[in-house]
Structure 1
């Protein structure tokens, strides 16, 4: 065993410490990929559970103005009221496959006097200015809407409001513009309304979104393999130095000769090589 004492030198202990730190980093990255995979799977399960579930009244889903649970995202609810068309807002920088555009927010005045923000749909940026050329008007009078709940968005630092344009659907900021009782926990993506608009907008979402779960599980396993490779490489390097240190020792020489004999037995004979060359030429 004294031959292996070199493996406990400061140099090799430093390599071992590096391998351990590397393995810990790989373990954290593996856990991170596992968590991301779980998040994607949970998001897909939430869509599957809520997107086409039967609609419920808004008051049953959101008991208070600021009530909302992440498990309610995409949940369908119904509400009845009158659109406050003079309070309509445009959310900037909402690109789609059709190009840049805006989402149109129109609050719905409910029977109790509160406002519920409805995202009526998307419109393209105008051809001559940073605003839509036209926006289809919301229906007048009492309407019944079916919407899918979405949570309030975060504020965007450095972005300001311009006229009736806002940078994000941050409901607390929207409520401050409207005043009075406004739902700030969630808003609704319009699915349908009765009566229908004369000029309906392009729906923001019309089919269930599918979040690609990606290769998170494969990456998780790969990081574990990388950690093991680090220790394997350390062991291989120690073994290589051990052989070089004691290659002139009688027992090490004997082992080297034995390996050479085994390799020679496995190698093809001259006759076998010649036969293979003849077969290759014949083909």
Structure 2
């Protein structure tokens, strides 16, 4: 390290460098967090692309998935025959759809030929405008034997939030089973795609998941850039300090007996030191050029 930058070894400057390092580490952590979120979004997109539009398979082929699903099983399409248990219908409150908040209608479905009772989300219901505590309408599922196509969705975690009677805070299958006092399939539930016979009135079908990874990649790059800017700022401050020290040295050189005797103010001596530095570096201002011309053509006559 040159003598010019020896001040960087002082406790103050080393302390600032340490703060820059801590800031950079925090930025790296936040950038990695955004990358992890992007990876999760890409995994979800992959599951939608792989499963959402596939031809339905029989329930017997995917029965175990409803009991013990993995993340890759989400959106698996299955065809199932059975009967709705309408009396045990529940509403999931505070569900977003198309920019609005409403309810999701859940109805248990007894699968024919098995003892399984699978929870089915029949779709979304808007909130009543006059009374926000209930849906605007309550469509009834078809009676008797129903052939349905549905997509597998893992059950949701419990939410520490109260819900009115007949409603749930989330698609918490364990809580649902406790409320209806029935052995439900607890691993996953079905999101209805179609049902036959089709009733006259149905809930609004939930929207297809968007294939959008979000802005996480750009955010991660921004955090990396912020971490780098901390060191850039530290280096710029060091450069300014070094130049300031040079000017102080120049001022000391000019501050000899002749200047003191002549009574040259300190501000003028500092201005002269800065001018000499610009002359050495070749970066002259218009004022420097005018001063040089005046000194050469007028003052020396």
TM-score by length of 2: 0.78
SS of the residue aligned with 1:92? strand
Deviation readout 1:8-34 (Å, 9 max, x if unpaired): 011011011011111111111111121
Residue of 100, 112, 115 corresponding to 1:113:
115
Structure 2 residue 154 is matched with structure 1 residue 151 = yes
Equivalent residue number for residue 279 of structure 2: 257
SS of the residue aligned with 1:122? strand
- Which 10-residue stretch deviates more, 145-154 or 171-180? 171-180
Contact 1:81-1:144 within 8 A present in 2 as well: yes
Equivalent residue number for residue 190 of structure 1: 192
CA distance in 1, matches of 2:116, 2:203: 24
CA distance in 2, matches of 1:241, 1:139: 80
The Cα of 1:91 is off from its aligned counterpart by: 1.8
CA distance in 1, matches of 2:76, 2:289: 71
CA distance in 1, matches of 2:243, 2:210: 56
The Cα of 1:104 is off from its aligned counterpart by: 1.5
Gaps of 5+ in 2: 254-272, 291-301
The Cα of 1:113 is off from its aligned counterpart by: 2.1
Q: 1:187 to 1:222 in 2, by over 3 A?
A: same
Residue of 128, 135, 139 corresponding to 2:138:
135
Equivalent residue number for residue 202 of structure 1: 204
The Cα of 1:56 is off from its aligned counterpart by: 1.7
SS of the residue aligned with 1:52? coil
The Cα of 1:246 is off from its aligned counterpart by: 2.8
Gaps of 5+ in 1: 270-283
Equivalent residue number for residue 240 of structure 1: 240
Equivalent residue number for residue 123 of structure 1: 125
Equivalent residue number for residue 280 of structure 1: none
CA distance in 1, matches of 2:242, 2:185: 72
Contact 1:114-1:180 within 8 A present in 2 as well: no
Residue of 152, 161, 168 corresponding to 2:170:
168
Equivalent residue number for residue 83 of structure 1: 84
CA distance in 2, matches of 1:132, 1:225: 48
The Cα of 1:64 is off from its aligned counterpart by: 6.4
RMSD, matched Cα: 2.7
The Cα of 1:263 is off from its aligned counterpart by: 4.0
Equivalent residue number for residue 26 of structure 1: 27
CA distance in 1, matches of 2:154, 2:177: 14
Contact 1:78-1:144 within 8 A present in 2 as well: yes
Equivalent residue number for residue 276 of structure 1: none
Greater C-alpha Rg: 2
CA distance in 2, matches of 1:126, 1:187: 26
CA distance in 1, matches of 2:185, 2:233: 59
Structure 2 residue 97 is matched with structure 1 residue 96 = yes
The Cα of 1:192 is off from its aligned counterpart by: 0.8
TM-score by length of 1: 0.82
